[in-house]
Amino acid sequence: MQKLINGEWVDCTEQDLINGDTYRIPAGNGGWQQQAFMTPTVTPIRIISTGAMQRRFTIPEEVAIASDDAATVIKSRLMNASYCDLDFQDTIAGVNYIVDYLVTAGLVVDAVTRKAELLQDGTKEESI
């Protein structure tokens, strides 16, 4: 791969390219394919598997959840759905309730941080 710098083609890697750079790659028969590099857009993953959501809770948190009827029902609904939409209002309300309960149970110190951790963007491995 080569990048055009001040009118000259210089060898480079994809990591050397910046949004808008002109670059070219060999296209066979000694020719080149030239194009402008555009930084790929990253779409956040906001729908994850229910198993991924469950793994976000620690074992002690799950044990504590089982001791509260409402938290147990909320977790059951989360786990029995086809997927977990991190932007769905019922998911957010459920996570808020569970974390607030975990604070009263003494397992979570910073509710705001824990809620953010549970509702953070999914990873490729967590997506459905």
Q: 5-51 pLDDT, tens per residue?
A: 999 999 999 899 999 999 999 988 888 999 999 988 889 999 999 99
**Domain residue ranges in the chain:** 2-36, 47-118
State residue 77's pLDDT score.
Answer: 94
pTM attached to this predicted model:
0.71
Cα separation, 127 vs 121, in Å, equals 10
Q: Three-class SS string for 44-113?
A: CECEECHHHHHHCCCHHHHHHHCCCHHHHHHHHHHHHCCCEECCCHHHHHHHHHHHHHHHHCCCCCCHHH
